[in-house]
Amino acid sequence: MITNPTRQRALRGHKPARPTPRAANTAEHQAVLAWRLTPRDKWIARMLWEHRVLTAHQLTALAFPSVRSARMRLRELYTSGVVDRFQPFVTVGTSPMHYVLAPAGAAVLAAEDGVDVKEMGYRHDRVIGVAHSLRLAHTIGVNEWFTALVDRARHPRPGEQVTLTAWWSETRCAKHFGDLVKPDGYGRWHDGDQQVEWFLEYDFGTEVLAKLAGKLTGYAALAQSTGITTPLLVWLPTSRRETTARRLLQRAWRELDEPRSVPVATAAAELLNPEAAHPSPADEVWLPLDLPAGGARRRTLPGLLDAWPHVPPPITTGGEAGLGTDSPQPTFPPPSPMPPASTKPRPLRGPGRLGRW
């Protein structure tokens, strides 16, 4: 009728709905995913499970050649129930979409590991609850820190052979070392024939710096119990805060029984060159704690080894970090920080009875 014309959007084709958590775990739905999910899709799901939440920008830098391809594939994964997403409220501008693991993705990972979803420890309400966590910004900041290293490895400079071979989340670190320390992450970086590993303390500008300095005793106890000397990297937002932190850290570091067992270096985010092609924490921004701040030369990640000749190379076994004989072993190994070789993805929606979700 002329008084109630049909809207243009009503003439569009059927828009497939996302599967409910119950439908996502059906054999029919899993059979469709078995054919259409690529190794990169499964890698993304495993990274989301390991690191809780990743933004659209981070996933683009981690696994996609362009923003457009990332947007299209993530939309497909969301529609199929492999990933879930939310967009936090911000007072200025628009925040990027944040992605977490959805029930269908958890079922795929559980099947790959030969366990039940409950044994895996997945609960959708807890996973999506990170949207309201008071540590959301800190978690995103830590993940952005490691994402910058992966992005640098995916776009090496002329003559470079760099890669990030290990990236452990705060949760995994807590399972291993939580009785002594709870670092924000663990990483290992290869640059040619050099490799350096570290624990990360990511300061967001809100933690009391005296509390940060007090953590050195825990790292010293960990080094004593495992017999492994692992450097500690402290990342701060500004140079001014770094100066204050170094003063407190040096005081606490000198009071340790064996200060050499805890090599510490600090850096500030504002020292990164924003005009560089792919700025990352691997750049010359690190200053060892046992060197004076005035006039000392900043170092790259592998360059820190020159300041710590007593630090042995990382002990690796099957791609894992050397943790000592008494360290607990995780049920699920961490995913490789580097994405698998890209393959042409199959559409997650298509003709046929199984393809209409």
Backbone φ and ψ of 136, nearest 5°: -60, -50
What pTM was estimated for this model as a whole?
A: 0.89
Place of tokens 């060892």: 288
Pull the structure tokens for residue 333. 């190994």
> What domains lie within the chain, and their CATH numbers?
14-132 (1.10.10.10), 136-321 (3.40.91)
| β 264-268/232-236 pair status | parallel
Q: What per-residue confidence (pLDDT) applies to 62?
A: 97
Q: What per-residue confidence (pLDDT) applies to 326?
A: 39
**pLDDT tens track, the chain, 357 positions:** 577 777 776 666 555 677 777 777 788 888 999 999 999 999 999 999 999 999 999 999 999 999 999 999 999 999 999 999 999 998 988 999 999 999 999 999 999 999 999 999 999 999 999 999 999 999 999 999 999 999 999 999 888 899 999 999 999 999 999 999 999 999 999 999 999 999 999 999 888 999 999 999 999 999 999 999 999 999 999 999 999 999 999 999 999 999 999 999 999 999 999 888 899 999 999 999 988 766 678 999 999 999 999 898 887 654 444 444 334 444 578 999 999 976 667 676 554 433 333
β partners of residue 299: 286
Q: What per-residue confidence (pLDDT) applies to 352?
A: 40
Q: What per-residue confidence (pLDDT) applies to 162?
A: 95
CB 110 within 8 A of CB 116: yes
Q: What per-residue confidence (pLDDT) applies to 231?
A: 97
Q: What per-residue confidence (pLDDT) applies to 351?
A: 40
Nearest to 119 by CA among 102, 129, 106: 106
Pull the structure tokens for residue 43. 């890698």
Helices (H), ranges, 178-314: 209-214, 216-226, 239-254, 304-307
Dist CA 336 CA 317 (whole Å): 14
Q: What per-residue confidence (pLDDT) applies to 24?
A: 74
CB 24 within 8 A of CB 107: yes
Dist CA 302 CA 194 (whole Å): 7
